[in-house]
Amino acid sequence: MLNNRLVTVLVFCMIAMSVLSCSSALAERPSPSIVPLPVKMIVGKGVFRISSKTRVIADGKSDAEAVKLIDALVPAMGFRLKRAGAAEKTGGAITLTLAAGLAKTLGSEGYTLEVKADRIEIKSAGAAGLFYGVQTLRQLLPAKVFSVKRVEKVDWLVPCVSITDHPRFGWRGLLIDPARHFIPVGDVKRFIDAMAMHKFNRLQMHLTDDQGWRIEIKKYPLLTKIGAWRDETLVGHLRAKPRRYDGKRHGGFYTQKEIRELVSYAAARHVTIVPEIEMPGHFRAVISAYPALGVFPDRQKDLKPWTHWGISSDILAPRPAGVQFCKDVLTEVMALFPSRYIHIGGDEAKKTQWKQSQEIQKMIRQKGLKNEEELQAWFIKQIDVFLAAKGRRLIGWDEILQGGLAPGATVMSWRGQRGGITAARAGHDVVMAPTSHTYFDNYQGPREKEPLAIGGNLPLAKVYQYEPIPKAITAEQARHVLGAQAQLWGEYISTPQHREYMAYPRACAFTEALWSPRDARDYERFTSRLTEHVNRLTAAGIHYRKLDRAAKQSK
């Protein structure tokens, strides 16, 4: 009797378990590993087949994005997919449609992507959204479609899905630093390609620093003739003693023609290049070219661009001629970069020379200012007014808060979130870039196993957990947080491979922190998607740091 009952219970349990596992198998139709995770994705039944018969349909306005889709698929298809008119009957089509009505719910970067057995439809209110829809579509295909070389003449199967997606933040940035090590045009383009694939939309280029000036300015030719070249470069870490140098001249700069080319290359991938021209500090390369702009021109006649890292005390003397110099440079910069935001640095400006100079001290008194901090604030304000009059906005590192923030300024908060919080509370816009979570020049694993880096420790898991909105601000103030940016400072990064190694996979985690809904974040699931995603990086030839089990443990 008891035995019989036991058997019945057991059989019942087995049936229940098999029903449950069956239904969960249905529910868990393998979900494509999309990075960054879309807001909403429903996986359906069946597949769409991309073949030589597939046509691409786009109206006049979405045309450019259709061409980019066709271009992207050339290596995988081995030929260019043909275009068709909307009315044409085809063997299945990929349609790109601009639908202004979607702006209300999805903004201009959001999109819907429907993959049905007989068609694929991407819709967005903006060209950027179509572009991002295409990026997601590529991730629905096997990883090898990301290869730029391989040519396969096969049909590709796309799983049926229904995706609705839009970014959480509008500023999803990365910074590169050609000032410390020059980055040739081709390598910048390569970096932009990888960014676009991950839906980043801002590339800050740190174009000037103590160690080199990297942009042609017609009015001041010596900036690149002298300021773009240093005699040699430090080998090893700045803190290692004695210091050793490589004895090799290093330098380079972008001509204005090259800058235009980069700006349009980036724009075609919906990336805005934000130029950064450092002032009043990090100014040694400028003073090497034009000693009259320094605080002590007589003493600074033989100055040369710095050959090691750190912060030089050579600072702009904010005489009328110095302020004018900055405005002249920015005039040429604005003509080259359509970016609404112009970054003027403003960080780490050592005030030693201003303190030592009777002339600057007199200037401070005459302007009725209290100290050197207020002089810097006064100077930044001149630049703020100048940029605003031209319809642009000044953005600077959080030191621009000291001595009073210029009225139109946007703050990039790097020394923690504090600067960002102060600025947001005061009603200023903010881009978060704290050293704690966004300094990709820091180590990402055990030092003894990693290539030389500046220091610190920023593992993948920590990047993934980054939350740009500080708890300390209200929802209203949070609207001032435009987004965040990760920095690849270049002191210890001198090749494209190393730059990619420092950027990936951390940038995969970072883009998800900026794009995907806050509540959807799940590190375990992210790393499991990442194991598939890195195959795309491999196919695309991106030199990333291999995933390790520690990535999961170091949470």
Site of interaction with ligand TNX (CB under 6 A): 347-348, 397, 414, 439, 441, 454, 489, 491
Cβ at position 469, least distance to ligand TNX in Å: 21
Whole-number Cα distances in Å, 425 to 428, 431, 470, 480: 7, 14, 11, 9
Q: Under DSSP, is residue 25 helix (H, G, I), strand (E, B) or coil?
A: helix
Terminal-to-terminal C-alpha distance of the chain: 53
Cβ at position 49, least distance to ligand TNX in Å: 49
Cβ at position 493, least distance to ligand TNX in Å: 10
CB hemisphere CA count around 266 (13 angstroms): 28
C-alpha span between 284 and 310 (Å, rounded): 12
Exactly one of 348, 373, 450, 532 is catalytic; name it.
Answer: 348
C-alpha span between 363 and 352 (Å, rounded): 15
Does the annotation count 348 as an active-site position? yes
Phi, psi (5° rounding) for residue 3?
-60, -45
- Spatial CA neighbour of 77 closest among 138, 161, 160, 30: 138
Pick the closer one to ligand TNX by CB: 43 or 454: 454
Pick the closer one to ligand TNX by CB: 84 or 454: 454
456's torsion region: left (phi>0), alpha (psi -120 to 50) or beta?
Answer: left
Cβ at position 414, least distance to ligand TNX in Å: 4
C-alpha span between 351 and 374 (Å, rounded): 11
Pick the closer one to ligand TNX by CB: 38 or 281: 281
- Spatial CA neighbour of 281 closest among 239, 244, 310: 310
Q: Under DSSP, is residue 347 helix (H, G, I), strand (E, B) or coil?
A: coil
Pick the closer one to ligand TNX by CB: 297 or 455: 455
Residue reference for tokens 């030693």? 352
Structure tokens at 417: 């979130």
Cβ at position 227, least distance to ligand TNX in Å: 17
Does the annotation count 209 as an active-site position? yes
Exactly one of 181, 270, 282, 498 is catalytic; name it.
Answer: 282
Pick the closer one to ligand TNX by CB: 182 or 439: 439
Exactly one of 109, 177, 209, 314 is catalytic; name it.
Answer: 209
Does the annotation count 399 as an active-site position? no
Cβ at position 183, least distance to ligand TNX in Å: 14
Q: What is the DSSP string of 430-474?
A: EEE--HHHHBTTS-SS-GGGS---SS----HHHHHT--SS-TTS-
Q: Which residues are catalytic?
A: 209, 282, 348
